[in-house]
Amino acid sequence: MSLKWRKTVILAKLETTYGTDATPTGAANAIQVSEATVTPLAGEELDRGLMRETLGSSPSIPVGSHVTCEFTVEIAGSGTAGTAPAFGPLLRACAMAEVIDAGVSVAYNPISEDEESASIYFHRDGNLFKLIGARGNVTAELNSNALPVLKFSFTGLWTEPASAALPTTDFSGFIPALPVNNANTPTFSLHGYAAVMTAFTFNLGNTINHRDRVNSEEVKFSDRKMSGSATFEEPAIATKNFYALAKNATLDALQLVHGTNAGNIVTIDMPKVQLKTPSQSNEDGTVLLAVALTPTPDAGDDEITLTFT
């Protein structure tokens, strides 16, 4: 009997000890996702290069075996200010710290040491692929008249795939996302200018390495270089000269606020953003300006902060 693609369930739970299965459950750790894919056997093939009396391929041996997966999660709050969103563990497994101000806010910012890891169970219609010791990267897309999303990619230690019944899930911690538009997205400010935005992205830019060495196997963070982009209606140069800002490598702030009701507001702050490669395009006869973004740290580990209120 064939397997059904959409019968997919992802569970994720932070690990107390790196590489020790945290055993996530459908009742407590289900993640509401879309666009989920898994690579059950990633790594390299070691060609033995055997010689014989005839030509032909040699058998190879898999080395550096690990598991990767990717999936999309809608950006929305928990419904209660000061309560972490249900996808919070995923952000923490992407080298972000979680700071809770009870009853007020939950903030996430990047970190450069003491990164956490997660156990991720990728169920697909009876087949289970585990990513133990998983660490990853996250990108975001907030485009006009579309749902705002986070796109996660994770790498985990190899475990043998197995047959397993799909778990019963509880998605009550997830609330529907709001489309990005004038009513739901009250603020987009770039270098002090309230731009009419059509698209915004960021990439946390984590470099992830699976390292299998004598006495050690681990998925490690080795670097972080954030990037992003913004597209908006181009203003008159006399109003705001984005070309001069790009030419002069000026650093200034970006802020985006999405949501208007307490418990479902997310604020994206970048204190020092460089604008690069401005280019024009046409949308319905309106001139759009697209710029590449390089968010840079201010005091350190603060090139971006996601705050849920």
Report pLDDT digits (tens) over 178-219.
Answer: 999 999 999 999 999 999 999 999 999 999 999 999 999 999
Q: Nearest 5 degrees, angle CA 68-CA 71-CA 75? A: 140
Query: Is residue 105 assigned to a domain?
Result: yes
**Residue 202 belongs to domain spanning:** 8-45+61-308
Query: Is residue 111 assigned to a domain?
Result: yes
Average pLDDT over residues 101-117: 97
Cβ 200 vs Cβ 256: under 8 Å? yes
Report pLDDT digits (tens) over 266-302.
Answer: 999 999 999 999 999 999 999 999 999 999 999 999 9
Query: Is residue 164 assigned to a domain?
Result: yes
CB atoms within 10 A of CB 225: 13
Average pLDDT over residues 100-115: 97
The whole-number pLDDT of residue 174 equals: 97
Report pLDDT digits (tens) over 127-143.
Answer: 999 999 999 999 999 99
- Dist CA 269 CA 305 (whole Å): 5
The whole-number pLDDT of residue 278 equals: 97
Exposure of 180 by Cβ count < 10 A (0-12 exposed, 13-18 middle, 19+ buried)? buried
Report pLDDT digits (tens) over 150-177.
Answer: 999 999 999 999 999 999 999 999 999 9
The whole-number pLDDT of residue 195 equals: 98
Query: Is residue 249 assigned to a domain?
Result: yes
Q: Which residues contact 82 (CB under 8 A, 6 or more apart)?
A: 100, 101, 102, 103, 104, 105, 106
Average pLDDT over residues 5-12: 97
- Dist CA 64 CA 160 (whole Å): 14
Average pLDDT over residues 60-73: 96
Query: Is residue 229 assigned to a domain?
Result: yes
Query: Is residue 52 assigned to a domain?
Result: no
pLDDT band, very low/low/confident/very high, at 1 (cuts 50, 70, 90)? confident
The whole-number pLDDT of residue 3 equals: 94
Average pLDDT over residues 75-96: 97
Query: Is residue 51 assigned to a domain?
Result: no
Q: For the chain, give the mean pLDDT.
A: 97
Query: Is residue 102 assigned to a domain?
Result: yes
**Bridge partners, residue 96, by sequence:** 110
Report pLDDT digits (tens) over 9-63.
Answer: 999 999 999 999 999 999 999 999 999 999 999 999 999 988 999 999 999 999 9
Number of domains, the chain: 1
Exposure of 171 by Cβ count < 10 A (0-12 exposed, 13-18 middle, 19+ buried)? exposed
